[in-house]
Amino acid sequence: MSLLLGPMKQHLDGHKGLTDHNEILALKDAKRVYIPLINGQSTNVEVLVKEGDRVYVGTKVAQRNDSSIVPLFSSVSGKVVGQETFLHAILKPVAHLVIENDFKYETKAPFKPLDYTKASEAELIDFTMNAGIVGCGGAGFPTYVKYKFAKDVHTILINGVECEPYITADYRIMNEKGKEMVIGIKAMMKMAKAPKAIIAIKASHPELIATVKKEIEGHSDISVFPVPDVYPMGWERTVVFQVFKKRYDKLPGEVGVVVNNVTTAIALGTALETGMPITEKIVTVSGDGVKEPHNVMVPVGVRVSELVAKCGGYASEDVLLCAGGPMMGKTLTNDQFVITPYSNAITVLITRPIDKVACLRCGRCSDNCPSSLQPVRINQFEETKNYEMLKRLAVNDCIECGMCSYICPSKIDVTEGIRRAKRLVQTRAAAEVKK
Ligand code: SF4
Ligand code: SF4
């Protein structure tokens, strides 16, 4: 079903000033890294090293081998010391390969750099697969798959909107890695046989727009499209609609567009230039619950507790920890989970008592829902577990953007009720299929 877009009129207080101009810290002193043996939701991962093996930064240590191929790489040099299973940011226990860091950061690029101007489309797609390039905006979807099946693409849309409050990782990396960004975008255009690319950036970032425009000088097939600073403008459907005034059913390919996060383009450009996969990530650690908010360059597999310590530690004993931003991120119960190739932020907020009152029937949650849902009605039918009505109210179209909770004057966590409703509908639907 095609989603209608809601009004998109909410400008959120982004709190971006906490980190957008701070120095980028480097975290290099983690004694161990824990490479999560997972990609997306798939744990069908073959481990390619054994206890005692010496590895380098860039050694391929494991590979997802099911519907997609996604290699996983060591982010430090040192010794494999085993496996441990603990909570992952997807909120499930996951096995992790444990590597003891020798702090030498000896690097062995696992593949040769590739000149995108000389490589064929097929060679670039293979390279993207073997380099383990995944969607860095939080999803971790294997990038090569988008290009393998791309057809009739007129534009590569690079999503540099970063609309979630607190997160500035994309903003910072775009400023730092313009050359790699252009190489990645050109390679994406070639893989999709797309004649042009558009980089979407918030109009409220004129300095960044100027920097990126300078970077793309001489590439008349790449342009910048300033978008309004409203939430959730960075949602794929919203940004596609904003730029092309077109809606799609399941995938942007239906309207001739492939969308990639800007950090993904930078990761691909870096791999093509250096032969190195994603072994480190820039992660925003921000919120009023951390003492010194910063962006941190951190090896994949470092525990979040170490990242928070690098930023001065917690500002309170009572904090809420989100993998991602406060609107769409996942709330974690402890800080032992690790940074993945697709982590972009850790948000730490001081928890405060909420004076929740009854629903005022004000309709603000419906008026501001980008998927044009009726969150308050969904919550009512969730309470009575009315499966048929929840289906009729299209609860699965919810993108869990958090806007209904944010906007609610009664401080009701409307989004949490919607999440429960989605789980109920999905579980019932799965049970019906089995019958
Ligand atoms: S979280 Fe709320 S506002 Fe966002 S899409 Fe879902 S129902 Fe709509
Ligand atoms: S925004 Fe809050 S108070 Fe208003 S209708 Fe929705 S749930 Fe009720």
CA-wise closest residue to 212 among 227, 223, 197, 196: 223
Q: Which of 10, 373, 414, 415 to mutate to test the pocket of ligand 2 (most atoms within 8 A of CB)?
A: 414
The reply to whether 148 and 269 lie within a common domain is yes
pLDDT number for residue 348: 97
CATH number at residue 167: 3.40.50.11540
The reply to whether 369 and 224 lie within a common domain is no
Identify whether the C-beta of residue 189 lies closer than 8 Å to the C-beta of residue 149. no
Residue 286 lies in a domain: no
For 33, the enclosing helix (H) or strand (E) is strand 32-36
Give me ligand 2 centre to Cα 319, in Å: 26
Residue 252 lies in a domain: yes
pLDDT number for residue 111: 93
**The total number of structural domains that make up the chain:** 2
For 155, the enclosing helix (H) or strand (E) is strand 155-159
Residue 281 lies in a domain: no
Identify whether the C-beta of residue 342 lies closer than 8 Å to the C-beta of residue 138. yes
Identify whether the C-beta of residue 201 lies closer than 8 Å to the C-beta of residue 234. no
Q: In what order do the strands lie in the sheet with 319-323?
A: 24-26, 294-299, 280-286, 345-350, 319-323, 330-332
- Name the residue type at position 128: T
List residues bridging with 290 in a β-sheet: 314
Give me ligand 1 centre to Cα 75, in Å: 37
Residue 25 lies in a domain: no
SS3 content of the chain, % helix, strand, coil (to 5): 30, 25, 45
Residue 14 lies in a domain: no
Give the domain range for residue 398.
364-434
Residue by residue, pLDDT tens for the chain (435 residues) are 334 455 556 778 789 999 999 899 999 999 999 999 998 888 999 999 999 999 999 999 999 988 899 999 999 999 999 999 998 888 789 999 999 999 999 999 999 999 999 999 999 999 999 999 999 877 789 999 999 999 999 999 999 999 999 999 999 999 999 999 999 999 999 999 999 999 999 999 999 999 999 999 999 999 999 999 998 999 999 999 999 999 998 899 999 999 999 999 999 999 999 999 999 999 999 999 999 999 999 999 999 999 999 999 999 989 999 999 999 888 888 999 999 999 999 999 999 877 778 898 999 999 999 889 999 999 999 999 999 999 999 999 998 899 999 899 998 989 999 999 999 998 888 777 766
- Tell me how far apart the alpha carbons of residues 265 and 242 are, in angstroms, rounded to a whole number: 21
Residue 427 lies in a domain: yes
> Does ligand 2 come within 6 angstroms of the Cβ of 362?
yes
CA-wise closest residue to 70 among 110, 96, 42: 42
Q: Whose CA is nearest to atom 2 of ligand 1?
A: 404
Give me ligand 2 centre to Cα 142, in Å: 38
pLDDT number for residue 4: 44
Q: From 250, 274, 298, give the residue that closes a domain.
A: 274
Residue 63 lies in a domain: no
Tell me phi and psi for residue 175, to 5 degrees: -70, -35
pLDDT number for residue 2: 37
Q: Which of 354, 412, 416 to mutate to test the pocket of ligand 2 (most atoms within 8 A of CB)?
A: 412
Residue 355 lies in a domain: no
Q: From 248, 274, 300, give the residue that closes a domain.
A: 274
The reply to whether 255 and 376 lie within a common domain is no
Q: Which two tokens stand for residue 416?
A: 């949490």
- Which atom of ligand 2 lies nearest, measured to the CA of 404? 1
The reply to whether 259 and 390 lie within a common domain is no
Q: Where are the alpha helices (DSSP H) in 99-246?
A: 121-130, 143-148, 169-176, 178-192, 206-215, 236-244
- Tell me how far apart the alpha carbons of residues 35 and 304 are, in angstroms, rounded to a whole number: 13
Q: pTM here?
A: 0.90
Q: Whose CA is nearest to atom 4 of ligand 2?
A: 362
CA-wise closest residue to 264 among 188, 205, 196: 188
Residue with tokens 């430090």: 76
**CA count, 13 A, side-chain hemisphere, 355:** 1
CA-wise closest residue to 34 among 109, 93, 106: 93
